[in-house]
Amino acid sequence: MGNAFEMIAVGENCPGYLPIYDGFQSHTVEPDTKSCRSCTNFREGKCVIDYYDKVVASLDQA
């Protein structure tokens, strides 16, 4: 996986992004910032729905 900036870019452009909400706000990511790290589909350091590489590739072409 990429660095924090790449994970934010992917989160902001990912059609599969679903925010983690456990009733508390995370202190590791700004509340309005989408990132892989704040997505329910990102587990154990990897995107379980296989969107990460596809979104990165689409960002590279933009």
Angle at 61 between CA 55 and CA 62, to 5 degrees: 90
Task: Enumerate residue ranges in the chain where pLDDT < 50.
Answer: none
pLDDT of residue 33: 84
User: Is the entire prediction scored with pTM above 0.85?
Assistant: no
* For the chain, the helix, strand and coil percentages under 3-state DSSP, each to the nearest 5: 35, 10, 55
- The SS3 assignment for 29 reads coil
Decide: 47 and 36 in contact? Cβ < 8 Å: yes
Tell me the per-residue pLDDT of 36-48, one tens digit each, with 9 for 90 and over. 999 999 999 999 9
* pLDDT score at 61: 81
